[in-house]
Amino acid sequence: MAELTKKGVAGFLARQGILVAFVVFMIVFAIANPRFIDIDNIFGVIRSSAILGVMALGVTFVVIGGNLDLSVGSMMSFSTIVVLDLHDKIGPTLGIPVMFAMTMALGAFIGFLVGYLKLNSLIVTLGMLSAIHGLTLTYSGGKNMDIADKEGTWFGIFGQGSIAGVPVPIIMFALLAIVLSIILSRTPFGRKVYAVGGNGIAATFSGIPRARIVFMTYLMSSFCVATAGLIQASRSLGSQNTVGQGMELEVLAAVILGGASLLGGAGTIFKTVIGVLILGFIQNGLLLMGLAFYAQYVVTWIIIILAVWLDIAAKRGRLWSPIA
């Protein structure tokens, strides 16, 4: 019986090492500054992380499918700028769906290049990173985009509103996480994403339409990006052209931190969410500790490495192994 429990604990640790790491960090930060676990602060951090998180959900699909998406940062700037511009031109009711269509057209284009033309996703999305940035700058003429009438619009609800005390961005993040988690783990499509990412050739010979699956992952990623852009735009009702700049790497860090394999075929939505939360709470925790900000970059890196190590150690069942 005792052994069975031990096995049970070990098995849990092996599966959820990253979750354990997350809890450890939360406790350390909470001891350093009790305000860290203040409910307002926790909501604040999750709300701030929601934008990164929503993008990471979509990229999880792309990564599990065996590809990369480095274009999400500039794509998010694009959707933010577009929806703010359309808000004043054609109104939010029409502007939001048009922005989603425009962003998803970009996603479809990337999906076509990577899925059907089988171009290397790193090259395609790295190129799209600057191409979309250029598109955004052309669209906006380089100017900041601001909603003219900030008081008289309902557009702020996506970023600033709350339902039953819970901020709307958190609700949107949670809903999207649940739906995408079900799609990934409970539907034939989800299984096919794993199959294509795990072994694309084998998947093709098994009759899985590899090109279409890859195409779909990019389409989903761009849908998530559009949602993130909507939250971003609504949160500040105005934006710079560079609002999403550099976020592609944070998104990728969160996805990888959550344990998705860069080689494809492995990862879950739940773990990506944990990865996102770790990044968000590290940032906030270090701020609350009042650490000098030059040191924060270094400490952030150390914590990420610690988390990855704890995750691997839990899988091995020991902290260090001479083999692997």
Residues of this chain that interact with other proteins (CB under 8 A) are 33, 35, 38, 40-41, 44, 48, 51, 137, 141-144, 146, 160, 232, 235-236, 238-243, 283-284, 287-288, 290, 293-294
Q: Which of 318, 305, 291, 316 is nearest to 25 (CA)?
A: 305
Q: How far is the CB of 161 from other proteins (least distance, A)?
A: 11
How many angstroms separate the most distant Cα atoms in the chain? Answer: 69
Amino acid at 92: P
Token pair belonging to 168: 């709307």
> What whole-number distance in Å separates Cα of residue 195 and Cα of residue 201?
9
Segments in the chain forming alpha helices (H): 2-15, 17-32, 39-64, 72-90, 92-111, 121-140, 157-160, 168-186, 188-198, 200-205, 210-236, 247-257, 269-289, 293-316
Q: How far is the CB of 173 from other proteins (least distance, A)?
A: 16
Q: Which of 75, 84, 92 is nearest to 226 (CA)?
A: 75
Q: Which is nearer to other proteins, 293 or 320 (CB)?
A: 293
Q: Which is nearer to other proteins, 278 or 313 (CB)?
A: 278
Q: Which is nearer to other proteins, 91 or 134 (CB)?
A: 134
Q: Which is nearer to other proteins, 3 or 151 (CB)?
A: 151
Q: Which is nearer to other proteins, 149 or 315 (CB)?
A: 149
Token pair belonging to 197: 């990412």
Q: Which is nearer to other proteins, 135 or 213 (CB)?
A: 135
Q: How far is the CB of 223 from other proteins (least distance, A)?
A: 21
Q: How far is the CB of 146 from other proteins (least distance, A)?
A: 6
Q: Which is nearer to other proteins, 51 or 214 (CB)?
A: 51
Q: How far is the CB of 222 from other proteins (least distance, A)?
A: 20
Q: How far is the CB of 233 from other proteins (least distance, A)?
A: 11
CB 18 within 8 A of CB 271: yes
Q: How far is the CB of 225 from other proteins (least distance, A)?
A: 15
> What whole-number distance in Å separates Cα of residue 126 and Cα of residue 149?
36
> What whole-number distance in Å separates Cα of residue 80 and Cα of residue 144?
11
Q: How far is the CB of 44 from other proteins (least distance, A)?
A: 5
Q: Which of 73, 6, 58 is nearest to 249 (CA)?
A: 73
Token pair belonging to 281: 């709470």
Find all residues with CB under 8 Å of 242, minimum gap 6, and list them. 77, 133
> What whole-number distance in Å separates Cα of residue 165 and Cα of residue 171?
11
Token pair belonging to 1: 């019986």
